[in-house]
A and B are shown apart, each in its own frame.
Chain A
Amino acid sequence: MSPRAQVYILAALLTVLGAGLTIYKHFALGFPLLPGEYRTVWTIEAKVGFDADGGPVKAALTLPRSQRNMAVLGETFSSSGYGFNIIHEDDEHRAVWSKRQASGPQSLFYQLDVHQTPGAALEQSLDLSTEVEKPLLGAREQEAVRQAIYSLVEAGRARSSDVSTFTSELLLALADTRNQDRNLIFGYYKDSNFVDVALLVLAAADIPAHRIRGLYLEDDRRRLDPEELLEIYDGERWVVFEPTSGAPGVPKNFFIWQRGGKSLLDVEGGRNSGVTFSVISNDVPARDVAMLSTSQEKEALVDFSIYSLPIEQQSIFKLILLVPVGALVVVLLRVFVGLRTSGTFMPVLLAIAFIETQLITGLSIFVLILILGLWVRFYLSRLNLLLVARIAAVVITVVILMGAISVVSFKLGIEQALTVTFFPMIILAWTIERMSILWEEDGPYEVVIQAGGSLLVAVLAWWVMTNRYVEHWTFNFPELLLVLLALVMIIGNYTGYRLGELARFRQLVR
């Protein structure tokens, strides 16, 4: 295979890999493609309140199971003076607060942040019991209720084709206040709520069912009681119904707290217990949401990346990851334009210094150091020093100049010039040395051309490197470096003319 073909194949592979990883990170892990994207994060607070009797107290709150379209980003528990732990019990997670002695009103808090993601709310593989416990309505005074229930069931059955449509019909009938059977049932079960009654009727119809407790996520809601949904088993799978409307499916903004199971809250050693919820929404940068939701799943792509480094190192990498972009700018300008620079990648180092110092400050400091350095270097060249000693002397001079610039400008109140320390001084010293040789050999004109070319490339590189999109992509999608690598390899195969050559060979055309 010819080297050229190899380059193209390798570049194609690298591009596919880099772009593929980027797309995966965007769509599967939720990393935002554009900077400045925000996601809504809901903060739900459950407040457990009860009056303690004065003796030992134990309160157990069922915690939300992980819901597929809700990513839990973080949980916090407040437990002033209480012992706290989380236990796993029959497929449920329960927070247990306990205390040897407590009296008076008690408040315990559990807070979690969730983020809504697209997808189905529930998984099917739920091994909940499908046993049905038929209501015992054998007593004489219960005869009327029993008849009403069965008449509702018969009516529903007549107007439906399967379990799902039957449930819908039944729920509609139960919500219809003109229905006499329904009124009789509700009259008998005065203490029960709608879902209790619905469960009872469904049991009478031999349909396995249970309740789902949860919350509707709406901004700035306080002191909410849990809402309930019904879930029935149609013989093959579980189907969720919104009880009052009879509509199947989990409502879009419903956050499921507890599915099936027993009570939401158990309190021992207290009275008047209850759970109230409050919900508020926050807008959080999309990347933080993606980082939080993937960190818990230990996504390998994120776990084995620079994100696993401490924050300090990450910010260093933020800068390092920009270097390839600067290198690309150099490649583009040299291959397609044909700019002459002093030292191939010296402009990239300059551009990095400019990022820290800001452009105007950086440019003035660079030009100042270059001019002063050249001046010192011309004097040094008369002293007949050995090359290495002379360059070392220039390095020391550069350091002294940097110090002097810092002190003088600080005294003058120009604090920006303090960033002078970001300049790579060895590189500066070599640049000064090369420039002075260039001056001696090719004249000052060539010095101006090369220094100007280097500065132009540095400024362009700085401009690209400080672009917020470039910054965002290099740091959040480092795999794009593979695409960059492919691009540079393809450019390395370019055999066309440079822009400068279109002027250089102008005479040949005439």
Chain B
Amino acid sequence: MQFRLPALRIPPFFRGGLVSPFRLRKLGVLGMNARNVRYIARYNDRDKYPIVDDKLNTKRAARRYRIPVPDLIAAFETQPTRKRIMQVIEPLQQFVIKPARGSGGKGILVIVGRDGEDYVKPSGSKVTALDIQRHISNIHSGLYSLGGKPDRVMIEALVDFDPVFDKYSFEGVPDIRVIVFRGFPVMAMLRCSTHDSDGKANLHQGAVGVGIDLATGKASHAVQRGLRVDIHPDTQMPFSDLEVPGWKDLVSLAASCYEMTGLGYLGCDIVLDRKRGPLLLEANARPGLAIQIANGIGLRTRLEHIESMTLEQLEKNVEERVNYSMDYFAAPTTL
């Protein structure tokens, strides 16, 4: 643990004042309270939460629905012995350790290589086998899970990332978040880590949120710390050139998560593998609202459009839904 003085930053809250709630309402911006009461409580059944809250369950369900996911190397249901851990990780060069019920990316340990007895993290710093054993023990004790409940540990293969985003990312790996409402993809964004965000893809830590046009897969808008940007702050690459390859496959994968989870209001996190294409990293029953800032567009208008559809219009297969969304939710670019 390094002691670092916090950089002096003015909290975004105090910068630039407030806007009128009526203007936000007019723009169709979805607030946290409205999301919780009108969408999550109404469209997400409690009994389906375990499918997404536990990543091991998500993996199993995904396999059943033939949705591609990163390979699972091992899962520890109970506290494993040191010998058992070493048996699993010793032969591996690259792997990811995750808590099955972690939230917000907490407790994920990525190992990208080996240096003798040590394991190398993406930042280049090294951890020992003992550190990894302690990390696994922490996950089991429930340090990263909601409510501190005992958790399970999964060891995943490291995704062989498609280099297409290399120019738009610093250290970390970008992932794509798609909001799916009643099976229809409604909004998408790409999260690019920066030096500022310490390689993490969390927008509130300084990652860049790039709104992706559902129709084309091209970047339409980019925001860092609440301010519009045109280029990646570290690599200086303009976002206007960014285009997600195989966009329709990716959107279809997200849309098919609706059948898999049965959740009406869903956020899917997807990464691009060099060979396998889009892989479902995890699904989220309470996706955040930052996607609106990344896109510069409110979610609520789109959600209300889907809500106004007739039952007949809603009962479509994945391909029809994807076509409808890509057609209807095209966005103008600001880049």
Give the interface of A toward B (CB within 8 A). Answer: 335, 338, 378, 381-382, 384, 386-388, 437, 439-445, 448-449, 492-509
Contact = CB atoms under 8 A, between A and B. Distances in A.
Contact of A501 (B7, B27, B31, B223): B31
Contacts of A439: 1
Nearest to A442: B205
B29 A445 contact: no
Given A492-B37, A503-B17, A508-B29, 19 more contacts: A378-B3, A381-B1, A437-B106, A444-B5, A444-B6, A449-B11, A494-B33, A496-B21, A496-B33, A497-B34, A501-B29, A501-B289, A502-B19, A503-B16, A505-B293, A506-B17, A507-B227, A507-B296, A508-B297
Given A502-B18, A505-B292, A493 B37 contact: yes
Contact of B137 (A338, A387, A499, A502): A387
B6 A387 contact: no
Contacts of A381: 1
A124 to B, nearest CB: 59
A378 B106 contact: no
Interface of B: 1, 3-7, 9, 11-21, 23-25, 27, 29, 31-34, 37-38, 106, 130, 134, 137-138, 141-144, 198, 202, 205, 223, 226-228, 289, 292-293, 296-298
A499 B227 contact: no
A442 B12 CA distance: 16
A502 B33 contact: no
15 contacts: A384-B134, A388-B141, A437-B106, A442-B202, A444-B4, A495-B31, A497-B31, A502-B21, A503-B16, A505-B29, A507-B227, A507-B296, A508-B29, A508-B298, A509-B23
B297 to A, nearest CB: 7
Contacts of B18: 499, 502-503, 506
Nearest to B295: A508
Interface centre among B27, B29, B31, B293 (most CB of A within 10 A): B31
Contact of B141 (A386, A495, A503): A386
Given A387-B142, A494-B33, A496-B31, A506 B16 contact: yes
Given A443-B6, A448-B6, A495-B38, A502 B24 contact: yes
Query: What is the predominant secondary structure among interface residues of chain A facing chain B?
Result: helix
A492 B296 CA distance: 28
B24 A505 contact: yes
A497 B21 contact: yes
A494 B36 CA distance: 10
Contacts of A502: 18-21, 24
Interface centre among A382, A440, A500, A508 (most CB of B within 10 A): A508
A70 B37 CA distance: 55
A505 B130 contact: no
A439 B7 CA distance: 13
Contact of A384 (B27, B130, B141): B130
Nearest to A375: B3
A338 B32 contact: yes
B226 A440 contact: no
B303 to A, nearest CB: 12
Contacts of B25: 497
A315 B248 CA distance: 66
B334 to A, nearest CB: 11
A507 B226 contact: yes
B106 A441 contact: yes
A497 B25 CA distance: 9
Nearest to A381: B1
Contact of B1 (A382, A386, A497, A505): A382
B293 A508 contact: yes
A503 B223 CA distance: 15
A-B residue pairs, 4 tightest by C-beta: A387-B141, A495-B34, A502-B18, A497-B31
Nearest to A436: B1
Contacts of A384: 130, 134
A506 B226 contact: yes
Contacts of B134: 384
Contacts of B298: 508
A30 B11 CA distance: 52
A509 B32 contact: no
A133 B64 CA distance: 107
A445 B6 contact: yes
B119 to A, nearest CB: 16
A505 B19 contact: yes
B210 to A, nearest CB: 14
A161 to B, nearest CB: 73
A254 to B, nearest CB: 62
B211 to A, nearest CB: 11
A384 B9 CA distance: 33
A492 B41 CA distance: 12
Contact of A386 (B12, B137, B292): B137
Contacts of B27: 508-509
A508 B130 contact: no
Contacts of B223: 507
Contacts of A378: 1, 3
B203 to A, nearest CB: 11
Contacts of A445: 6-7, 9
Interface centre among B6, B17, B298 (most CB of A within 10 A): B6
B186 to A, nearest CB: 16
Contacts of A498: 31-33
Contacts of B202: 442
A297 to B, nearest CB: 47
Contacts of B20: 502
B23 to A, nearest CB: 5
Contacts of B9: 445
A338 B296 CA distance: 21
A388 to B, nearest CB: 6
A335 B33 contact: yes
Contacts of A503: 12-19
B198 to A, nearest CB: 8
Given A445-B9, A449-B11, A387 B226 contact: no
Nearest to B39: A495
Nearest to B11: A449
Contacts of A449: 11
A387 B138 contact: yes
B33 A495 contact: yes
Nearest to B8: A445
Nearest to A385: B134
